[in-house]
């Protein structure tokens, strides 16, 4: 039974989001890492995401049975009772929000709740089944985890948080359209109005190229705005440019499904590489550099810690 309850949470999705949470958290930490805060943030966000995935499994039972890749899911197979799944989802949500409330700040709590409401309330309950714009709205929930990680440290929604939200929202679009193309028959059978099904694959290819181009520009803004370093910039430029080339090559693809699967796989490589690089190649603000310098000078001169703290606080 443990395996069934684990599968309900879609562990692959949870794990992938933990990488982006770490990226946002370490970017905001700028080398001054509070390990306990990080663990609490990661676990709290993981629990909320897991809850959203369980709710999604419950909501999508009627369409999951029609799709080849989802017809063997736990609830579809009747391995867990639907009412038990709902209770399980509520417990996960309460536990995650409580942990974030206790360990982080209200901004992080509100952001994770916003992502949850968008994913479960707007996307899963309505837009996924009724609007071609469901993917666009749903992308906001997919972009919430790194922003929560960032704001758990900064306790403010600044330019860095806004850029992270933009990066991960834009990334969701070509990533999701690629899935819809190589899983075209599934989405068509379940009557889900994704762009490739409603507007056609050629239209989806044009959107993919435009979104990847916008994503590439957004990734570079982290360095241009002074949040990330030049190593991050190089990785973002190279990986983004190659992903864009892959998108453009789709216009001449012989097999759209093979091309879309490759695009999907590289999208995961790209966002993982960026999350890692923003974790390790950050930039300290001028204020942080100044305070660090004063602290080092005080320590070298043998000045007492109380006096040193007073001097630093004045800056």
Read off the pLDDT of residues 25-57 as tens digits, 9 standing for 90 and up. 999 999 999 999 999 999 999 999 999 999 999
Q: Please give the structure tokens belonging to residue 226.
A: 């002074």
Looking at the predicted structure, is the pLDDT value of residue 289 above 50?
no
pLDDT band at 183 (very low <50, low <70, confident <90, very high): very high
Higher-pLDDT residue of 26 and 309 is 26
Predicted local confidence at residue 113, as pLDDT: 98
pLDDT band at 69 (very low <50, low <70, confident <90, very high): confident
Looking at the predicted structure, is the pLDDT value of residue 296 above 50?
no
Per the CB < 8 A criterion, the answer to whether 233 and 220 are in contact is yes
Separation CA 257–CA 184 (nearest Å): 8
Looking at the predicted structure, is the pLDDT value of residue 292 above 50?
no
Separation CA 191–CA 46 (nearest Å): 30
CATH classification for the domain delimited by 1-155, as one of 1.10.10.10, 3.50.50.60, 1.10.357.140, 3.80.10.10:
1.10.357.140
Looking at the predicted structure, is the pLDDT value of residue 295 above 90?
no
Averaged pLDDT for residues 232-259: 97
Helix 230-249 vs helix 256-280: angle between axes, to the nearest 10 degrees? 170
Please report which residue ranges of the chain form alpha helices under DSSP H: 2-8, 11-29, 35-59, 61-64, 82-103, 106-116, 128-130, 134-142, 144-154, 159-182, 184-189, 195-198, 201-224, 230-249, 256-280, 286-301, 305-314
Q: What is the pTM of this model?
A: 0.88
């Amino acid at each position: 039974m443990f395996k069934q309850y684990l599968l309900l949470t879609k562990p692959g999705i949870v794990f992938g989001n933990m990488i982006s949470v770490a990226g946002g958290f370490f970017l905001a930490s700028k080398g001054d890492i509070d390990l306990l805060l990080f663990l609490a943030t990661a676990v709290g966000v993981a629990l909320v995401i897991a809850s959203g995935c369980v709710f999604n499994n419950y909501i999508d039972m009627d369409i999951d049975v029609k799709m080849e890749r989802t017809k063997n899911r736990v609830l579809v197979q009747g391995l867990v009772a639907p009412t038990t799944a709902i209770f399980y989802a509520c417990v996960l949500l309460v536990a995650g929000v409580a942990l974030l409330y206790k360990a982080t700040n209200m901004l992080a709590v509100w952001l994770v709740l916003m992502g949850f409401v968008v994913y479960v309330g707007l996307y899963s309950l309505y837009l996924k089944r009724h609007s071609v714009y469901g993917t666009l709205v749903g992308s906001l929930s997919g972009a919430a985890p790194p922003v929560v990680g960032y704001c758990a440290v900064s306790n403010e929604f600044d330019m860095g948080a806004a850029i992270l939200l933009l990066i991960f929202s834009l990334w969701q679009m070509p990533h999701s359209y690629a899935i819809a193309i190589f899983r075209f028959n599934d989405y068509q059978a379940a009557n889900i109005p994704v762009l490739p099904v409603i507007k056609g694959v050629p239209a989806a290819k044009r959107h993919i190229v435009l979104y990847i181009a916008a994503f590439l520009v957004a990734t570079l803004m982290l360095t241009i705005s002074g949040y990330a370093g030049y190593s991050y910039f190089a990785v973002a430029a190279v990986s983004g440019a190659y992903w864009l080339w892959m998108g453009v090559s789709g216009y001449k693809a012989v097999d759209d499904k093979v091309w879309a699967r490759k695009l999907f796989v590289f999208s995961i490589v790209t966002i993982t590489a960026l999350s890692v690089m923003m974790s390790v190649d950050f930039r300290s603000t001028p204020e942080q550099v100044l305070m660090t310098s004063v602290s080092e000078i005080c320590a070298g001169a043998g000045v007492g810690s109380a006096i040193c703290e007073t001097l630093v606080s004045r800056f």
